[in-house]
Structure formats: C-alpha cells, structure tokens
C-alpha cells in the first residue's frame, strides 16, 4: 500500500505501508524533510524509518486502552495500527495525515477540524454494538492515545473529548474538573474540564485545544531531537531541547506544571501528558501547551485510609 505522508498541505515523504501490520515498510522518497514529525532525524538524505515507525505506532490506540481489545474484535480489525489507514491517519491533535497514492484528496477535503467525523468507532470503543451496514471508520478516535476509554464528539459544531474514569472508583473525570479549577485559581494556563453524567457513569469533557492553525507536539517527541546525557536530568533535557528549538517561555510553564502536580499529587505526568504548540504551516513554536490530563491525581485509585496515611502516593512530575 503506497501513501504520501502529508503535513497539512506539505508532502513529507512517500511511504509503503505493510498491509498486514500497518507498519511503515519503506520510505520511498523524502519530499520535505523539514516537515517530518519532530524527533525523526535525516541522515545522508534518508529519514530514520525506525523513528518514523515509532511515531506512527504512537499515533494508534494503545493496546493498554480500556476496552480496545473488545472493540477491535467487534470491528474485525487485527490491531489498532490498522485503524490508522482507515481514517487517513487524521487526528484532532495535529495536522499529519496519509494520502493514498493516486488519490486527489486535499487536507481541506478530509481534515477533522473542518469536516464532520463518524461516531461509529467511538460507539465501538464505548461497547455499543456496531451497525450492520455502512460502518464508517473516519474518526479521530483511531488516532487518540491514552489509557482511559474516550471518544471525540461534535457538540454545537465544536469538537470535545469525552473521557471515562477507571474502575473501581471512576474518579478521574472529577479530578480533571478539580485540577483545572485549581490551575485556574493559581493562574496556570490550562484546559477547562467539565463533568458529564451519561447513564449513571461520570465522564470528563474538554474542548479540542488544537485548531486549524496550531498543533500539539508532546514532550516525548521534543525530547527525541537530541540525545540525553546520563548526567542531565529529564527536566533539564526538556529545557535544553526546547532551547535548541527556540521555543519561548518553557521554564516558567514547566515549573507551574510541577507545582500544580505536587499540589494535586498527580501520579501520571508522563512525557505524553504535556507538550508544546506549534503553527503547522510556518512551523513556528508558539510555546507550551495549556495543562491537560491531570485526572490521575488526588488519590484517584486509593481508599481513604491510604490517602490519609500518605504512603505509596508518589506525585510524578
Ligand atoms: N483537549 C484536547 N485537545 C486536543 N488533543 C487532546 C486534548 N486532550 C487530550 N488530547 C490528546 O489526546 C491524548 C489522550 O488524552 P489524555 O491524555 O487526556 O488521555 P488519558 O487516557 O488520560 O491518557 P493517559 O494514558 O496519559 O492517562 C493526549 O495525549 C493528547 O494527545
Ligand atoms: Mg494522557
């Protein structure tokens, strides 16, 4: 299967994808190396295929996602990587996509910022039996990562991410709301979350903070642009990478996030749970993304006695 990887409107590379696994088998031509995903390097005119494959795989729903195995079984799809090709690899968090060879499609025709998407994959992920006919795979749910059950929905013309909690307490949706309120009181740039009850189950709801003119680049990708020396802390390495890219205002935002995470005892601020915003057309760095995904905090999976004792609760900035 031949495709062109495209960054919004700029063709980046011609690719051959393995039909059985959905992996990038070959990079047939590098067209605009400067638009490769951040952290994918070019050596002697050739892009690092392994690094591009890592990026591609990270784009799919992780195997650890709550309910994904059942959903894939229902859909008759062997792995979540194979879902990527069914929606042109499109996302609501950045502007990369793949165009089948010989297709005349443009970004304008397909992107989910300007075009509606199907509810079918979201329904499957939420355990709703699939339609018998006309199942439509075009959905940003195929390209959204994270452990918790989630789906995108269009409400009043805007895109929202609806996210569940994990058993037994289903507490993350409440914590997202509390964490965003705390961030607000402290004047820390953040994504507001609200609570939604559906059939007795709580969900958090937040609006897409990415727009046709911005995209999210997670810290994990930023940190691939140079090698971390053993003696350099992760904190310093991230700052060094941001400095090398010329991103403004990172240190203050990073420190604000660490303070917030300390106050709410966030146990899950891993390197895909914060990042930077960039203009996809000019590739200009706009600065740190507002804080999102703070729900695995406030003793979300602990009983009260454990929270009181304070033992085995490690905030993980
Ligand atoms: N409001 C938003 N706008 C755009 N993209 C978002 C938004 N919220 C989340 N995302 C993207 O969706 C991904 C998954 O969301 P999120 O991190 O909230 O899920 P999670 O299941 O809690 O993740 P984790 O596995 O880290 O617990 C994020 O890593 C980010 O790329
Ligand atoms: Mg996350």
Point out the least confidently predicted range of 127-131, 144-148, 197-201, 272-276: 127-131
Q: Please name the residue whose Cα sits nearest to atom 10 of ligand 1.
A: 93
CA angle 25, 26, 29 (to 5 degrees): 155
User: What pLDDT was estimated at residue 312?
Assistant: 77
For a pocket test of ligand 1, which of 150, 161, 217, 276 has the largest count of ligand atoms closer than 8 A to its C-beta?
Answer: 161
165 within a domain of the structure (yes/no): no
Question: For ligand 1, is residue 272 a contact (CB within 6 Å)?
Answer: yes
CATH of the domain at 223: 1.10.1070.20
Residue 11 has pLDDT above 90, yes or no: yes
- Boundary-marking domain end, from 110, 128, 149: 149
Question: For ligand 1, is residue 180 a contact (CB within 6 Å)?
Answer: no
Do 41 and 51 meet the contact criterion of CB atoms below 8 Å apart?
A: yes
84 within a domain of the structure (yes/no): yes
Question: Closest ligand 1 atom to the C-alpha of 206?
Answer: 1
And the tokens for 193? Answer: 């979350």
10 within a domain of the structure (yes/no): yes
Residue 80 has pLDDT above 80, yes or no: yes
Residue 230 has pLDDT above 90, yes or no: yes
Using CA atoms, how far apart are residues 103 and 123, in angstroms rounded to an integer?
Answer: 29
Residue 176 has pLDDT above 80, yes or no: yes
Give the start-end residues of each E strand in the chain. 2-7, 10-17, 24-30, 42-43, 46-47, 96-100, 150-155, 158-163, 194-198, 201-207, 215-218, 275-278, 285-288
Helix (H, G, I), strand (E, B) or coil at 307: helix
Which pLDDT tens digit goes with each residue over 88-139?
999 999 999 999 999 999 999 999 999 999 999 999 999 998 887 889 999 9
Using CA atoms, how far apart are residues 70 and 42, in angstroms rounded to an integer?
Answer: 39
In the reported structure, the alpha carbon of residue 206 is separated from the centroid of ligand 1 by a whole-number distance in angstroms of 10
pTM: 0.96
Residue 150 has pLDDT above 90, yes or no: yes
Looking at the structure of the chain, the number of domains it has is 2
Same domain, 131 and 220: no
Q: Please name the residue whose Cα sits nearest to atom 25 of ligand 1.
A: 146
Residue 173 has pLDDT above 90, yes or no: yes
Same domain, 145 and 224: no
Question: For ligand 1, is residue 113 a contact (CB within 6 Å)?
Answer: no
User: What percent of the chain is modeled with pLDDT above 70?
Assistant: 100
Q: Please name the residue whose Cα sits nearest to atom 2 of ligand 1.
A: 208
For 292, the domain range is 215-309
Same domain, 142 and 21: yes
List, in order, residues 6 or more apart from 84 with CB less than 8 Å away.
22, 56, 59, 60, 98, 142, 143
User: What pLDDT was estimated at residue 313?
Assistant: 78
- Boundary-marking domain end, from 133, 149, 165: 149
User: What pLDDT was estimated at residue 19?
Assistant: 92
Average pLDDT of every residue of the chain: 96
For a pocket test of ligand 1, which of 37, 68, 90, 93 has the largest count of ligand atoms closer than 8 A to its C-beta?
Answer: 93
Question: For ligand 1, is residue 162 a contact (CB within 6 Å)?
Answer: no
Which pLDDT tens digit goes with each residue over 261-280?
999 999 999 999 999 999 99
> Which bound ligand lies closest to the C-alpha atom of 193?
1
Same domain, 32 and 120: yes
Residue 314 has pLDDT above 80, yes or no: no
Which pLDDT tens digit goes with each residue over 29-77?
999 999 999 999 999 999 999 999 999 999 999 999 998 999 999 889 9
40 within a domain of the structure (yes/no): yes
User: What average pLDDT does this structure show over 223-240?
Assistant: 97
Residue 316 has pLDDT above 80, yes or no: no
Same domain, 22 and 123: yes
Confidence class for position 317, pLDDT limits 50, 70, 90:
low
> Which bound ligand lies closest to the C-alpha atom of 297?
1
In the reported structure, the alpha carbon of residue 162 is separated from the centroid of ligand 2 by a whole-number distance in angstroms of 13
- Boundary-marking domain end, from 134, 149, 164: 149
In the reported structure, the alpha carbon of residue 233 is separated from the centroid of ligand 2 by a whole-number distance in angstroms of 22
263 within a domain of the structure (yes/no): yes
């Amino acid at each position: 299967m031949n495709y062109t990887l495209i960054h919004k409107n700029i063709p980046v590379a011609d690719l051959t994808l393995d039909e059985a696994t959905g992996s990038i088998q070959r990079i047939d031509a590098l067209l605009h190396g400067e638009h490769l995903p951040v952290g994918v390097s070019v050596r002697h005119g050739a892009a690092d295929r392994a690094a591009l494959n890592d990026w591609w795989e990270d784009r799919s729903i992780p195997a650890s996602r709550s309910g994904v195995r059942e959903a894939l079984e229902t859909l008759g799809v062997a792995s979540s990587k194979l879902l990527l090709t069914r929606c042109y690899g499109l996302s609501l968090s950045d502007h990369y996509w793949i165009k089948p060879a010989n297709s005349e499609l443009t970004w304008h025709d397909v992107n989910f910022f300007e075009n509606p998407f199907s509810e079918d994959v979201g329904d499957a992920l939420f355990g709703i039996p699939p339609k018998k006919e006309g199942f439509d795979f075009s959905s940003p749910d195929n390209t959204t990562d994270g452990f918790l059950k989630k789906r995108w929905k269009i409400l009043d013309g805007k895109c929202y991410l609806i996210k569940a909690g994990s058993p037994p307490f289903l507490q993350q949706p409440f914590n997202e709301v509390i964490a965003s309120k705390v961030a607000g009181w402290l004047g820390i740039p953040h994504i507001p979350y609200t609570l939604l009850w559906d059939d007795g189950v709580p969900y958090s709801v937040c609006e897409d903070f990415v727009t046709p003119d911005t995209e999210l680049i997670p810290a994990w990708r930023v940190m691939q642009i140079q090698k971390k020396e053993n003696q350099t802390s992760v904190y310093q390495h991230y700052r060094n990478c941001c400095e090398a890219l010329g991103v403004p205002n990172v240190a203050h935002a990073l420190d604000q996030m660490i303070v917030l995470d300390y106050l709410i005892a966030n146990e899950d601020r891993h390197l895909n749970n914060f990042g930077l915003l960039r203009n996809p057309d000019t590739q200009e760095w706009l600065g740190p993304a507002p804080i999102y995904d703070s729900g695995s905090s406030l003793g979300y999976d602990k009983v009260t006695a454990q929270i009181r004792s304070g033992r085995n609760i490690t905030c993980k900035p």
